[in-house]
Amino acid sequence: MEAAVAASSLRRMYERRRKDAVVALDDLTLTIAQNEIHGLLGPNGAGKTTLVKILSTVLLPTSGTARVLGHDVVAETKAVRSLVGLVLGGDRGLYDRLTARRNLLFWGALYKLDSRTVRRRADALLERVGLAERADDPVERFSRGMRQRLHLARGLLHEPRVLFLDEPTSGLDPVAAVAFRRLVLELRDEGRTFLLATHDMDEATALCDRVSLIDRGRLLLTDDTSNVGRILGDRECVDFVHEDDALARDLATLPSVLDVERLDDRWRAHTADREGSRRVLAWLVERDVLTGRHAQPTLEEVYLRTVGDRGMRV
């Protein structure tokens, strides 16, 4: 079966005035199977939005190619647009003064759907995302969660087979986030494919079959979510500078410390959680070591530390 998404050596630069260009995507190759929920996980600035925009034909790659269900995102934009839906997080793309239904009718017109079809689909989708009773309220009265569900309805109007969701639950309260995720799972059961960009590991773990980790525009790995979840469990540490190896050895015996490693110019104590990091900082201060600071290892560091270079092969 044809891949839902096949990106090959994608690269995207952003030129910046009087500064070096940013490499937002660097030689990224990724395949997503049909009917999969694929997580794109990475910190802010990793390149997630850039990738999602390229795949939905909003942005051109600097080089490399990408296909959606066999259609090239640069040469066949029209075909790709009819196959994909883009759902952005936050407040972009909805008109506050318009009612929920009017928002959908507006977007339906942009998609050049005939008005009877749009009306029928809009009503069905409002029902589906739990907004039927609020269909005639202006969107400015909507909570964050309601807006996000309306965004999803909007992305579904032209019945796309592949959906790109960019940080869809950022800023949602936990109940709203759970409702949103349930909807995604239902839509997948109908045969749709999802690429879900998020910096939230819990979200990726809750929803995705497979996950790709990206950092600074580069793909670090693609793996089943269960493997990646285990790898990323260890995400807390305290960095400090000190001359004495004995202190590091003492620190390693504390119950809240998983281990202490030597980096180029400092020590790093890995802890199980935030409380563990607090204990380490307090312990250091008691010994007059004032250089300690709470840190988060980059995804790449966590990954390399845990599985070495085995998994760098994607």
Candidate segments 9-17, 41-49, 149-157, 221-229, binder of Mg ion by CB under 5 A: 41-49
Which of positions 42-61 make contact with Mg ion (CB under 5 A)? Answer: 48-49
Please give the size of the binding site for ligand ADP, defined by CB under 6 A: 12
Nearer to ligand ADP by C-beta: 215 or 236? 215
Least CB distance to Mg ion at residue 59 (A) = 12
Q: Quick one: what does residue 90 bind among Mg ion, ligand ADP, none, with the CB cut-off 5 to 8 Å set by partner type?
A: none
C-alpha distances out from residue 97 to 133, 152, 153, 261, Å: 18, 19, 18, 56
Q: Quick one: what does residue 24 bind among ligand ADP, Mg ion, none, with the CB cut-off 5 to 8 Å set by partner type?
A: ligand ADP
Report the residue number whose CB is nearest to Mg ion.
49
Query: Rule CB under 6 A: is residue 24 a binding residue for ligand ADP?
Result: yes
Least CB distance to ligand ADP at residue 207 (A) = 18
Q: Quick one: what does residue 16 bind among Mg ion, ligand ADP, none, with the CB cut-off 5 to 8 Å set by partner type?
A: ligand ADP
User: Which positions from 27 to 46 touch ligand ADP by CB under 6 A, shown as an x/- string?
Assistant: ---------------x-xxx
Nearest Cα residue to 25 out of 221, 219, 166: 219
Nearest Cα residue to 65 out of 116, 13, 93, 30: 30
Least CB distance to Mg ion at residue 220 (A) = 17
| DSSP class per residue in the chain | ---SEEEEEEEEEEEETTEEEEEEEEEEEEEE-TT-EEEEE--TTSSHHHHHHHHTTSS--SEEEEEETTEETTTTHHHHHHHEEEEESTTTT--TTSBHHHHHHHHHHHTT--HHHHHHHHHHHHHHTT-GGGTTSBGGG--HHHHHHHHHHHHHTT--SEEEEESTTTT--HHHHHHHHHHHHHHHHTT-EEEEEES-HHHHHHH-SEEEEEETTEEEEEEEHHHHHHHTT--EEEEE--S-HHHHHHHHTSTTEEEEEE-SSSEEEEESSHHHHHHHHHHHHHTT----EEE---HHHHHHHHHTTGGG--
Least CB distance to ligand ADP at residue 219 (A) = 12
Q: Quick one: what does residue 168 bind among Mg ion, ligand ADP, none, with the CB cut-off 5 to 8 Å set by partner type?
A: none
Among 14, 60, 182, 285, binds ligand ADP (CB under 6 A): 14
Nearer to ligand ADP by C-beta: 50 or 148? 50
Q: Quick one: what does residue 271 bind among Mg ion, ligand ADP, none, with the CB cut-off 5 to 8 Å set by partner type?
A: none
User: Which positions from 43 to 72 touch ligand ADP by CB under 6 A, shown as an x/- string?
Assistant: -xxxxxxx----------------------
Give contact residues for ligand ADP (rule: CB under 6 A): 14, 16, 22, 24, 42, 44-50
Give contact residues for Mg ion (rule: CB under 5 A): 48-49
